Amino acid sequence: MSLSPRLHQIAHHITPGASVLDVGCSDGLLLDYLRREKQVDGRGIELDAERVARAVARGLSVVQGNADHDLAAFPDASVDFAILSETLQAMQRPDEVLAHLLRIGRRAIVAFPNFGHWRVRANILFGGRMPVTKGLPQSWYETENIHLCTIDDFRALAASRGYRIIAQRHLWGANPQSAWPNLLADHALFVLSN
Amino acid sequence: MNARSSLHRSLRLPHDLPLESGAVLPRPMIGYETYGELAADGGNAILICHALTGDQYVASTHPLTGKPGWWTRMVGRGRPVDPARHFIICMNVIGGCMGSEGPASPHPDGDGCWGLRFPVITIADMVRAQAAALDALGIGRLLAVVGGSMGGMQALQWAAQYPDRVASVVAIATAARHSAQNIAFHEVGRQAIMADPEWQGGAYTAAGTNPARGLSVARMAAHITYLSEAGLTGKFGRNLQDRAEVGFGFDADFQVESYLRYQGMSFVDRFDANSYLYITRAMDYFDLATAHDGLLAPAFAATSARFCIVSFDSDWLYPTAESRRIVQALVAAGRHVSFVELSSPHGHDSFLLDAPTMNAVVDGFLRSGEGAAA
């Protein structure tokens, strides 16, 4: 089974044999890949019962839970990498979840859609409407994405909390986007440490 | 050592069994069944633990009732626990009445049966007896311990009590402690038994009586807790039993009454009233955190076992909140844990019924443990 370019980019930053907590792990596709290809000791947490059931049926250690409430039980510095993929913007308190990631993991890997992308800006600027794009396909009233941010917003949050940015990768579709990422990249990945 | 005492296959432990109360059970009998073949390296043994009124006939016809095993959806050919690849052991708990030492067993003095002279036992005592019986059968480390309800309590207790002897734990529709509500319902059942004049202070065998009415009422009350309001409504509603209108009397006018009466009456044919008192007491005393100043996580600190916890959304006897509490403790203890709350309208009994997702979850969990062991 092949990974999407986004998940592949996350996997790229995981060192073989590492321990991993994937927060919002869906049906465990990434954890399954990391277990097979990188001999990772993986755990996951996922809100949706059916996805959890599919992940556990794959033999993964995944618990049904809510990242906003259930990360507190995880011990300090208990994994090498805490991953938050496509989930940050759906959190009640993204800042607190981020703090938990960096408490539980020695490093945090956070991937999210960039709300500063020009298509999003154009939607609001010219259309006067909340954007509906390929990366953000739902209307404002039904989306789970309640805390969308731009790449610059995220950098500012990391700076204000004193987190170190170890690496950052920006994508436009499946391709790297290094110039003017806050405008031209529709997706971002950050590797953070305390 | 092995014997088929009357109906049940059983063994007598080669030594006395010390109990949590301080009492000692002299060389108790253990009734058990096995399915499949033990691998040459002994690495494929799975212990199934039964619930309050269950027994060792998990996947084979019951010798008393003639009914199929109580968990054939989970245990059997092509099922998650499969005799084609596992050696499956299921034992009657001590205090029970299906071949294991219990209040209805003969007293060692030869003076009738134990009755209320039988010592009060705990979940930890049941597990200690199982471990001793496995010793006697030449089985060391278990690939898995699997149980639902009280069986799940035993599975959790196994990891706490014998941390190095179990690789995987599956605990379904269960809790790490009995709540006030759990204890309250059990007390209703016990009082119903003891209020039956035929109970005779527990000495009904000697008196030649049978507290069937009391035990039947206990079963009826308990049975309600195994179902859900929606399940009862869906199955019976306010439907009348074999009549067009209410009878203005106290016959079983409603189908639900008739159903409960049947459940109560059929239960007394296969279960001993004193066993019901002892086993419900053991469950009431259960709280894995007691030994750790009220903290649950330390109970799982010593084991390296992986855990699979499953709850059902309509189970109000052992609700999901209790499973979450177990999961949080396991997470805090750094254990590998899988947990899912499944949707079912059938209440606590969901774990015994057709639940394809539960089977997929348990199957995947067990197989990945076997992969790691290989």
Helix (H, G, I), strand (E, B) or coil at B311: strand
Q: Which residues pair with residue B142 across a beta bridge?
A: B166
> What does the alpha-carbon distance between residue A20 and residue A51 come to, in Å, rounded to a whole number?
18
pLDDT in tens, B25-50: 999 999 999 999 999 999 999 999 99
Answer yes or no: is pLDDT of B374 > 90. Answer: no
| Minimal Cβ distance to B357: which of A53, A58, A75 | A53
Q: What CATH number does the domain containing B275 carry?
A: 1.10.1740.110
B340/A53 touch (CB, cutoff 8 Å), yes or no: yes
Distance CA A56, CA B192 (A): 42
Judgement on whether residues B66 and B141 belong to the same structural domain of the protein = yes
Alpha carbons B249 and B264: distance in angstroms, whole number? 20
> Quick one: average pLDDT of A26-35?
96
Residues B74 and B134 in one domain: yes
Q: Residue A22: helix, strand or coil by DSSP?
A: strand
B154 and B12: one domain? yes
Confidence of residue A134 (pLDDT cuts 50, 70, 90): confident
| Per-residue model confidence as pLDDT tens digits over A84-121 | 999 999 999 999 999 999 999 999 999 999 999 999 99
Q: How far apart are CA B64 and CA B70, in angstroms?
A: 13
Burial of A181 (0-12, 13-18, 19+ CB in 10 A): buried
pLDDT tens digits, residue range B319-334? 999 999 999 999 999 9
B342 contacts A57? CB cut-off 8 A: no
Query: Which residue segment(s) compose the domain that B362 sits in?
Result: 2-178+287-373
DSSP output for B140-201? -SEEEEEEETHHHHHHHHHHHHSTTSEEEEEEES--SB--HHHHHHHHHHHHHHHTSGGGGG
What is the DSSP annotation of B64-123?
A: TT-PPPTTTTTBSTTSSB-TTT-EEEEEPPTT-SSSSS-TTSBPTTSSSB-GGGSPP--H
Section B231-250 average pLDDT? 94
B240 and B304 within one domain: no
The residue behind tokens 């321990």 is A19
Q: Given this model, what pLDDT does residue A174 score?
A: 87
Cα(A80)–Cα(A108) distance, integer angstroms: 8
Say how many Å lie between the first and final Cα of chain A, rounded: 34
Interface A:B, Cβ pairs < 8 A: 67
Which of B257, B280, B303 is the last residue in one of the domains? B280
Whether residues B81 and B158 share a domain: the answer is yes
One-letter amino acid at A74 equals: F
Confidence of residue B373 (pLDDT cuts 50, 70, 90): very low
Contacts of B332 in chain A (CB under 8 A): 73-75
Q: What is the DSSP string of A10-21?
A: HHHTSPTT-EEE
User: In chain A, which residues have their Cβ closer than 8 Å to the Cβ of B324?
Assistant: 65
Residues B87 and B62 both lie in one domain: yes
Annotated catalytic residue: which of B10, B100, B105, B149?
A: B149
Q: Answer yes or no: do B351 and B303 share one domain.
A: yes
Choose the weakest-confidence range: A133-142, A182-191, B170-179. Answer: A133-142
Do residues B190 and B60 both lie within one domain? no
Whether B332 and B195 share a structural domain: no
Evaluate if residue A135 carries a pLDDT over 50. yes
What's the mean pLDDT in B150-166?
Answer: 98
pLDDT of residue A5: 85
- d(CA B361, CA A38) in angstroms, rounded, equals 24
Mean pLDDT, residues A164-179 taken together: 93
Q: Is the pLDDT of residue A131 over 90?
A: no
Specify the number of domains making up chain B.
Answer: 2
Average pLDDT over chain B, rounded to whole? Answer: 96
Cα gap B55→B279, rounded to integer Å? 12
Judgement on whether residues B191 and B168 belong to the same structural domain of the protein: no
* Predicted local distance difference test score (pLDDT) of residue A1: 57
Give the tens place of pLDDT for each residue, A41-59.
999 999 999 999 999 999 9
Q: Angle at which helices A29-38 and A5-12 pack, to 10 degrees?
A: 40
Residue B146 has pLDDT above 60, yes or no: yes
pLDDT number for residue A132: 85
Judge: A62–B338 Cβ closer than 8 Å, yes or no. Answer: yes
pLDDT cut 70: percent of chain A above it: 99
Residues contacting B363, CB < 8 A, separation 6+: A57, B80
Q: What angle do CA B62, B200, B7 make, to 5 degrees?
A: 20
Q: What is the mean pLDDT of residues B291-304?
A: 97
Task: List all residues 6 or more positions away from A112 whose beta carbon is below 8 Å from its beta carbon.
Answer: A86, A87, A88, A89, A149, A154, A187, A188
In this predicted model, what pLDDT tens digit does every residue of B51-91 receive, in sequence order?
999 999 999 999 999 999 999 999 999 999 999 999 999 99
Judgement on whether residues B7 and B78 belong to the same structural domain of the protein: yes
Taking contacts as CB-CB distances below 8 angstroms, the residues of chain B near A32 are none
pLDDT of residue B4: 43
Q: Do A63 and B361 touch (CB under 8 A)?
A: no
* Residue where a domain stops, chosen among B250, B280, B310: B280
- Please, where are the H alpha helices in chain A? 5-12, 29-38, 49-57, 67-70, 94-104, 118-122, 151-161, 181-184
The ipTM of this complex is 0.92
pLDDT of residue B289 exceeding 80, the answer is yes
Q: Are A21 and A105 in contact (CB under 8 A)?
A: yes
Q: Judge if B329 and B237 occupy the same domain.
A: no
Task: List domains and CATH numbers for chain A.
Answer: 5-115+148-193 (3.40.50.150)
Which of these, B36, B244, B288, lies nearest to B156 by C-alpha position?
Answer: B288
Tell me the DSSP string of B51-77: -TT--S-SSS--TTT-PPPTTTTTBST
Query: Is there a contact between B365 and A56 if contact means CB atoms under 8 Å apart?
Result: yes
Last residue of a domain, one of B258, B280, B302: B280
Of the candidates B315, B323, B349, B350, the residue annotated as catalytic is B315
Tell me the average pLDDT across B277-287.
98
The number of beta carbons lying within 10 Å of the beta carbon of residue B78 is 7
Please give the pLDDT value at position B214: 98
Q: How far apart are the C-alpha atoms of A178 and B167, rounded to whole Å?
A: 48
Percent of chain B with pLDDT over 70: 97
Give every CB contact of residue A127 below 8 A, 6+ residues apart in sequence. Answer: none
Which residue type occupies A173? G
Instruction: Give the confidence band of B351 by pLDDT, cuts at 50, 70, 90.
Output: very high
Mean pLDDT along residues B2-22: 86
- B82-100 confidence digits (pLDDT tens): 999 999 999 999 999 999 9
